[in-house]
Amino acid sequence: MKTSLEEAREQSHKDTVNVLQGIIEKNYDAEKGYKKAMQDAENPALKNFLKQQAVQRSNFATAIDKELRDLGEAPKESGSVTGSLHRAWIDIKSSVAGNDDEAVLEEVIRGEKASVDEYEDVMKKNTLAPKIQNVLQSQLRDIQGTLNRVKTLEDIS
């Protein structure tokens, strides 16, 4: 029979794993979204920025992958259904908007704001190990930095 402390540890482990699985999935989605946006963008500086962001999100996923493996868990290996829908929506919007860079940037801003909200929500609602909290906090700062940079890129489109 398990003690309540053992049960609490197990629940904490499950909660942490669920949080990290959700975050890794979102990063796969963001990486694919950036790659798709890169194809739609016209401006070479914007294409390069989007490529850098796709690489950054791949690195985020790798970091989360490591945390999950350190917890003895197998990470998810693909994005979410919602992410696929978002990418399809970008396709539709791009075709309607004539693939203009402004429409691409608007979608990037929308996606990054959603990422910021998700990271903040996860960190507020969950008690995570300091190491994991630090990884997520660092990624959140990078995403917020991306949002600020996208706003300056709006001037070039």
CATH at residue 147: 1.20.1260.10
Instruction: State how far the alpha carbon of 14 is from the alpha carbons of 119, 137, 147, in Å.
Output: 18, 20, 31
pLDDT above 70 (res 2): yes
In a domain, 119, yes or no: yes
- Count of domains forming the chain: 1
In a domain, 86, yes or no: no
User: Averaged over 23-32, what is the pLDDT?
Assistant: 89
Spatial distance between the Cα atoms of 78 and 83, rounded to a whole number of angstroms: 10
- What token pair was written down for 147? 């949002």
pTM for this entry: 0.84
Q: Tell me: the pLDDT tens digits for 43-92? A: 898 899 999 999 999 999 999 999 999 999 998 887 666 655 555 545 54
- Which structural domain range is residue 12 located in? 4-75+98-155
In a domain, 22, yes or no: yes
In a domain, 80, yes or no: no
> Quick check: 17 and 68 in contact, CB under 8 A?
yes
> From the DSSP assignment, how many helices (H) and strands (E) are in the chain?
5, 0
In a domain, 91, yes or no: no
In a domain, 88, yes or no: no
In a domain, 45, yes or no: yes
pLDDT above 70 (res 97): no
In a domain, 83, yes or no: no
- What token pair was written down for 53? 């962001």
